[in-house]
Amino acid sequence: MSESSAASPGDQRVELIAQCKQLGPREAAELLDHQSPALAGEVLAALLPSEAQAILKHLAPEHRAAILSATPPERVKQWALEENYPEGSIGRLMEPPTAVFRPEQTVAGTIEELRELVKKAFITYGWVVDPMGKLIGVITMRDLLFSEKTKRLDEVMLRTIFALKVTLPLLDAMKLTLDRHYPVYPVVDGAGRLLGLVRGQQMFEQQAVELSAQAGSMVGVTKEERLATPWLRSLFFRHPWLQINLFTAFIAAGVVGVFQGTLDKIVLLAVFLPVLAGQSGNTGCQALAVTLRGMTLGELKPGSARKAMMKEALLGFCNGSLVGITAAIGMFIYATIEKNPQAVMLSVVTWLAMVFACVVSGVAGVLVPTVLKKVGADPATASSIFLTTATDVVSMGSFLWLATFFLMH
């Protein structure tokens, strides 16, 4: 067969899956719009449920309906779960339950049933439910293999069951499963009825997607943008945040403009403005990173924000005092070289401004994402833009105000 021959259906499917994982939902939908409904359904079935649901929303209505018609009903039901359970919950990741049996079934009968099931699905465990659908036991393949064929399932099943609640947040579920490492977990409702299954790999893949998007969200890059996103769409995603950033930069510039008279008389202050802004910005970003990590891992509980702010204020004071000494020495040397008679007072002003700026920046690193979360926004969304504004205004404003107060009177 020549190299120009068309790729096999299997190869085409694998290639489409890889492309859809690289593209955002809108671009992936445009790609699948040109594929047959059966092939598009197979590709979507290989993605995370949340990814498939996001792509389906962007498909042309006629093509979406054709894909859903050509896809097994249980998979369509799984995609529909996205609308029934809270965002970020286990319910949005679960698959329809397979290998579900009654306690009175025999080992022999169960094995025969499994022979047909494994042709259609990957089976890891068997699930035993009562007439009301409540999960009462788990069957391992080893137990089926070594048990007598005439035994009932309720004689060989494991009765100690670890299950996840359907409304459980993904992060909480990951904490519970961290030391278990099961390949698949049952998902139940409040009454213990078996609703579906979720694979450990899917949970960690979904969390990896969320974590990888967090860094971009901090600077205004949306979750939808990927490396393969067309440049025009990337421009649409990013540019509004750059305009906001420019507006906030004007605010910082306005603060400096208020003290233009001080800068005109003590020109060397301008040299240290970037030093103050950069140091306080780093302090704020450290606090922001720890706060976002705490939110992601569920460590920042309601009411604990005040304690976190007090900690960051203390760290800001300690770090600001230490780096402030270095900055003050630098200011003293520079002012002495420039033969400024107020070199000592300039050093004191530099130290005070550094301490104050680092304290406020640390507090802002906790306050910005906390406020965003309280108003219902994503805590990571463009948080660094707002934080940068706060640190620039405070660091440069306090530095110039202190210089004006101590040196211009």
DSSP calls for 5-53: SPPPHHHHHHHHHHHHHHS-HHHHHHHHTTS-HHHHHHHHHTS-HHHHH
pLDDT surpassing 80 at residue 392: yes
What is the per-residue pLDDT for 13?
84
Report the pLDDT averaged over residues 354-363: 95
Residues 6 or more apart whose Cβ sits within 8 Å of residue 292:
214, 218, 369, 379, 380, 383
Report the pLDDT averaged over residues 385-397: 88
CA–CA gap between residue 44 and residue 175 (Å, rounded): 28
Cross-strand bridge partners of residue 108: none
* pTM > 0.85: no
Q: 3-class SS at 151? A: coil
pLDDT tens for residues 361-387? 999 999 988 888 888 766 766 677 788
What is the per-residue pLDDT for 330?
94
pLDDT surpassing 70 at residue 322: yes
Q: 3-class SS at 338? A: coil
What is the per-residue pLDDT for 2?
39
pLDDT tens for residues 70-93? 888 777 776 766 567 777 788 878
Q: Which one of 7-11, 86-90, 212-216, 356-360 scores highest in mean pLDDT?
A: 356-360
How are beta strands 135-140 and 164-165 bridged, if at all?
A: unpaired
Mean residue pLDDT of the chain comes to 83
CA–CA gap between residue 13 and residue 2 (Å, rounded): 20
pLDDT tens for residues 195-236? 889 888 777 766 655 554 555 444 554 555 556 667 777 777
CA–CA gap between residue 4 and residue 183 (Å, rounded): 41
Q: Is 127:194 a contact under the CB 8 Å cutoff? A: yes
**What are the structural domains, with CATH classification, of the chain?**
9-84 (no CATH), 100-198 (3.10.580.10), 231-407 (1.10.357.20)
pLDDT surpassing 90 at residue 101: yes
